[in-house]
Amino acid sequence: MTKPGDRSLYLEMLRRMLLIRKFDEAAVELAARREIVGAVHAYIGEEAVAVGACAALNDDDYITGNHRSHGHPIAKGASVDRAMAELFGKRTGYCKGKGGSMHLADFSVGILGEAGILGSALPVAVGAALASKLRKETKVSMPFFGDGASNEGACHESMNLAAIWKLPVVFVCENNQYAIVKNVRDLVAVQHIADRAAAYDMPGVTVDGQDVLAVYEAVGAAVARARAGQGPSLVECVTYRYFDHAEGMGRLLTEPYRDADEVEKWRQRDPIAIHRAWLLDGGYATAEELDAIEKDAAAAIEAALEFARTSPEPDPSELFDGLYTNPIAADRY
């Protein structure tokens, strides 16, 4: 339940959604003009999911992400400076330039990293939850994954393991209804991905992923359950990506896969606009206050760009750094 006393939380939600939006607007632009290289998968349109879900977590709880994961770390509290620097492959980036866009991580705030391979991080998230349980801690682990990734075997195994071991895991499925160019209806046999929770005797709910508070409440209930030792849950957030799968991919399409109307319809349910309106309606803040938050977010991303651009490239001597904790003469092999 949302409480009037949570004003600062509600404003912080807006701020983080705006940070993600502006971060990814910048990322798409940078990629389009080849100022950054590699793949960029924009999270634009889906911000309420990461922000609502992470708002239910503590700093020392764990998350893992996927290829479309600039939003998750920002929602969890990562620095936009270091995230942006990573997109530039700079030494000041979270992964010192080793990871790039698809592999942000900040272990200091529980972000155990992102996987470019679908489903691959789910077992890792389950393992973090296992560690939490074995040490009698109450840390919760939250893997984010897409509708497409839900078809990987790793997903099944992870859910069953979490269920039989009653681990503190909240599986957050971001059903943006597409896997690259395929509609979820053609790839998943059930109506709601949350229906699959029944196969593991765990709660499964489908929630409006454009409503940050709805996500926050559904995920919050699952987190509370997990923290109380009652085991895992699956929360499916129905959302939408405004852009094509990855920057530049639109040009490669030989057949359209969705129509402009559909995109327009979803843009009318923009998560930031919805939350902004709710804040105004509820009298939580004035339009000026919200505009100021937006301006601050824009400034933070400008600063992040500046930070990233002026940061040094990694030095060739750093190539092998981080491969092992206790290095071997890897260049010998």
Ligand X SMILES: Cc1ncc(C[n+]2csc(CCOP(=O)(O)OP(=O)(O)O)c2C)c(N)n1
The verdict on 195 binding a second copy (CB under 8 A) reads yes
Q: Does 271 bind another protein (CB under 8 A)?
A: no
Burial class of residue 20 (count of CB atoms within 10 Å of its CB; 0-12, 13-18, 19+): buried
Instruction: By CB under 8 A, tell whether 173 contacts a second copy.
Output: no
Site of tokens 């920057």: 247
The entry of a second copy, another protein, ligand X, none that residue 127 binds, CB within 5 to 8 Å by partner kind: another protein
Binding partner at 333 among a second copy, Mg ion, another protein, none, C-beta below 5 to 8 Å by kind: another protein
Among positions 37, 164, 180, 253, the unique one binding ligand X when judged by CB under 6 A = 180
User: What order of strands is seen across the sheet that includes strand 233-238?
Assistant: 111-114, 62-65, 141-146, 170-175, 233-238, 204-208
Q: How far is the CB of 311 from another protein (least distance, A)?
A: 11
Distance between CA atoms of residues 290 and 330, nearest Å? 52
Taking the least distance from each CB to Mg ion, the nearer of 160 and 230 is: 160
Minimal CA–CA distance to 108: which of 63, 43, 48? 63
Q: Kindly provide the b/e burial profile for residues 68-100, where b requires at least 16 CB atoms within 10 angstroms of the residue's own CB.
A: bbbbbbbbbebbbbbbbbbbbbbbbbbbbbbbb
| 154 in contact with another protein (CB under 8 A) | yes
Cβ-based nearer residue to ligand X, 24 or 147 = 147
- Residue 196's binding partner among another protein, a second copy, ligand X, none (Cβ under 5 to 8 angstroms by kind) is a second copy
Instruction: Out of 4, 5, 153, 256, point to the residue binding a second copy (CB under 8 A).
Output: 153
Q: Angle at which helices 80-87 and 7-32 pack, to 10 degrees? A: 20
| Segments in the chain forming alpha helices (H) | 7-32, 47-54, 71-76, 80-87, 122-134, 153-164, 184-187, 212-227, 260-267, 271-281, 287-310
Select from 69, 132, 141, 176 the one that contacts Mg ion (CB under 5 A).
176
CB-CB contact of 95 with 105 (8 Å): yes
Query: Which of residues 32, 58, 180, 191 is near a second copy by CB under 8 A?
Result: 191
**Residue 8 site contact among Mg ion, another protein, ligand X, none (CB < 5 to 8 Å, cut-off depends on kind):** none
Q: Is 179 in the site for ligand X (CB under 6 A)?
A: yes
Which contiguous run of DSSP H or E holds residue 233? Answer: strand 233-238
- Amino acid (one-letter) located at 134: L
Q: How far is the CB of 190 from a second copy (least distance, A)?
A: 5
Give the β-pairing of 62-65 and 141-146. Answer: parallel
- Under rule CB under 8 A, which residues in 72-131 are in contact with another protein? 86, 89-90, 93-103, 105-107, 112-113, 115-131
- For 26: left if phi > 0, alpha if psi spans -120 to 50, otherwise beta; the answer is alpha
| Residue 65 in contact with Mg ion, rule: CB under 5 A | no
d(CA 320, CA 297): 36
* Residue of 92, 141, 176, 311 interacting with ligand X (CB under 6 A): 176
What residues from 192 to 251 belong to the interface with another protein (CB under 8 A)?
245, 249
Number of residues that bind a second copy (CB under 8 A): 23
147 binds Mg ion (CB under 5 A): yes
Task: Point out which residues bind a second copy (CB under 8 A).
Answer: 151-157, 160, 163-164, 186-191, 195-196, 198-202
